[in-house]
A and B are shown apart, each in its own frame.
Chain A
Amino acid sequence: MLRFALSRFASMIFVFISISILVFLIFFATPGVDPAARIAGRNADPATLAAVRHSFGLDRPLPVQYLIMMKKLFITQDLTSFVNRGQKVVPEILAATPVTISLVVGAAVLWVIFAILMGVTAAARRGRPIDPILMAVGLIMLSIPPYWLGEVTNLITQDRLHSTVFAWVPPLGYTPFSQNPTQWFLGLVLPWTVLAVGYIGLYGRVLRSSLVETYSQDFVRTAKAKGLSPRRIMLRHALRTSMITFVSLFGLDFAALLGGAALLIEVVFGLPGIGKLTYDSLENFDLPVILATVLYAAFFVVLLNAIVDLFYAVLDPRVRRV
Chain B
Amino acid sequence: MRRVQAMAVLGTVAVAVAACSGSSGGSGSTSASPSASNGQLNAAHVGGTLHLVATAANGTLDPQVNYTLGWWQVYQAAYDGLVSFQKANGTAAFTIVPDLATSVPTPTDGGKTYTFTLRRGIKFSNGQPVTVNDVVASFQRLFKVSSPNASSWYNVLVGSDACLKTPATCTLAGGVVADPSTNTITFHLQHPQAEFLDQLAVPFGSILPASTPPKDQGDAPIPTTGAYMFSSYDPNKALVMVRNPYFKQWSAAAQPAGYPDEINYTFGLTPEAEVTAVENGQADWLFDAPPADRLGEIGSKYANQAHVNTLTAIYYLPMNVNIPPFNNEQARQAVNFALDRNAAVALYGGSNLASPSCQILPPGFPGHVDYCPYTKNPGTTWTAPDLAKAKQLVQQSGTAGQPVAVVSANDTVNKSIGEYVQSVLNSIGYKATLKPLSSNIQFTYIQNTKNKVQISLSQWYQDYPAASDFINVLYGCENFHPNSDASINISGYCNQSVQAQIEAALTQSVTDPTGANSAWAKIDQEITDQAASATLFNPKLIDFVSSRVGNYEFSKQFYMLIDQLWVK
Residues of chain A touching chain B, judged by Cβ–Cβ distance below 8 Å, are 31-34, 36-38, 40-49, 51-52, 55, 80, 83-87, 92, 95-96, 151, 154-155, 158-159, 162, 171-173, 267-268, 270-272, 276-277, 280, 283-285
Contact = CB atoms under 8 A, between A and B. Distances in A.
Contact of A84 (B13, B57, B272): B57
B313 to A, nearest CB: 14
Contacts of A171: 277, 280, 282
A37 B486 contact: yes
B123 to A, nearest CB: 26
Interface of B: 13-14, 56-57, 59-60, 62, 65, 67, 146-152, 164-165, 167, 215-220, 235-237, 266, 268-270, 272-273, 276-277, 279-280, 282, 437-445, 447-448, 451, 473, 479, 481, 484-486, 488
Interface centre among A84, A158, A276, A277 (most CB of B within 10 A): A84
Contacts of A36: 485
A173 B238 CA distance: 12
B156 to A, nearest CB: 14
B208 to A, nearest CB: 16
A162 B147 CA distance: 47
Contacts of B481: 45-46
Given A41-B149, A43-B479, A171-B282, A51 B167 contact: yes
A171 B59 CA distance: 25
Listed from nearest, the 7 A-B pairs whose CB atoms lie closest are A41-B148, A86-B218, A37-B485, A85-B218, A45-B151, A84-B235, A32-B445
Contacts of B270: 267-268, 270
Contact of A268 (B266, B273, B486): B273
Contacts of A48: 146, 148, 150-151, 486
A48 B165 CA distance: 10
B165 to A, nearest CB: 8
Given A44-B486, A85-B60, A270-B269, 10 more contacts: A33-B441, A37-B447, A43-B152, A43-B479, A47-B165, A48-B146, A84-B219, A85-B59, A96-B236, A280-B56
A44 B59 CA distance: 17
Contacts of B220: 86
A270 B218 contact: no
Contact of B488 (A31, A42, A276): A42
Given A32-B441, A42-B67, A151-B272, A172 B486 contact: no
A312 B390 CA distance: 70
Given A172-B277, A283-B438, A42 B14 contact: yes
16 contacts: A31-B451, A32-B437, A33-B441, A34-B485, A38-B443, A41-B14, A41-B149, A43-B148, A43-B473, A49-B485, A49-B486, A80-B218, A84-B57, A151-B272, A154-B272, A270-B270
A40 B276 contact: no
Given A84-B60, A171-B277, A52 B479 contact: no
Given A45-B486, A154-B276, A87 B451 contact: no
Contact of B148 (A44, A151, A270, A277): A44
B60 A40 contact: no
Contacts of B218: 80, 84-87
B219 A46 contact: no
A104 B440 CA distance: 30
Contacts of B216: 85-86
Contacts of B164: 47
Nearest to A154: B273
B316 to A, nearest CB: 15
Contacts of B148: 40-44, 48
B487 to A, nearest CB: 8
Nearest to A266: B268
Contacts of B150: 48
Contacts of B272: 151, 154-155
A61 B245 CA distance: 48
Contacts of B59: 83-85
Contact of A276 (B268, B437, B473, B486): B268
Is chain B's binding surface mostly helix, strand, loop or mixed? loop
Interface centre among A42, A86, A92 (most CB of B within 10 A): A42
Nearest to B446: A32
A103 to B, nearest CB: 14
B59 to A, nearest CB: 6
A172 B276 CA distance: 10
A271 B269 CA distance: 8
Contact of A285 (B236, B273, B441): B441
A159 B276 contact: yes
Contacts of B152: 43, 45
Interface centre among B152, B268, B479 (most CB of A within 10 A): B268
A171 to B, nearest CB: 4
A96 B440 CA distance: 23
A84 B56 CA distance: 11
Contacts of A285: 438, 440-441
Contact of A42 (B215, B277, B486): B486
B220 to A, nearest CB: 6
A32 B167 contact: no
Contacts of B484: 37, 46, 49
A55 B146 CA distance: 10
Nearest to A160: B276
A48 B282 CA distance: 42
A161 B443 CA distance: 41
Interface centre among B56, B164, B167, B485 (most CB of A within 10 A): B485
B440 A284 contact: yes
Interface centre among A154, A267, A270 (most CB of B within 10 A): A270
B443 to A, nearest CB: 8
B195 to A, nearest CB: 14
B406 to A, nearest CB: 16
B488 A43 contact: yes
B369 to A, nearest CB: 26
A86 B217 contact: yes
Nearest to A44: B486
A32 B451 contact: yes
Contacts of B451: 31-32
Contacts of A85: 59-60, 62, 216-219
A45 B165 CA distance: 12
A47 to B, nearest CB: 6
Contact of A277 (B165, B217, B236): B236
B302 to A, nearest CB: 12
A171 B56 CA distance: 18
A41 B67 contact: yes
B239 to A, nearest CB: 12
Contacts of B60: 84-86
Contacts of A96: 236
A304 to B, nearest CB: 26
Contact of A159 (B151, B165, B279, B437): B279
A154 B60 CA distance: 31
A96 B268 CA distance: 12
A92 B146 contact: no
Contacts of B57: 84
Given A45-B151, A86-B216, A51 B146 contact: yes
Contacts of A47: 151, 164-165
Nearest to A36: B485
A38 B440 contact: yes
Contacts of A52: 146
A37 B444 contact: yes
A83 B61 CA distance: 11
A155 B294 CA distance: 11
Contacts of B277: 158, 171-172
A283 to B, nearest CB: 6
Contacts of A31: 445, 451
A284 B441 CA distance: 8
A80 B149 CA distance: 25
A173 B268 contact: yes
B278 to A, nearest CB: 11
A249 B143 CA distance: 56
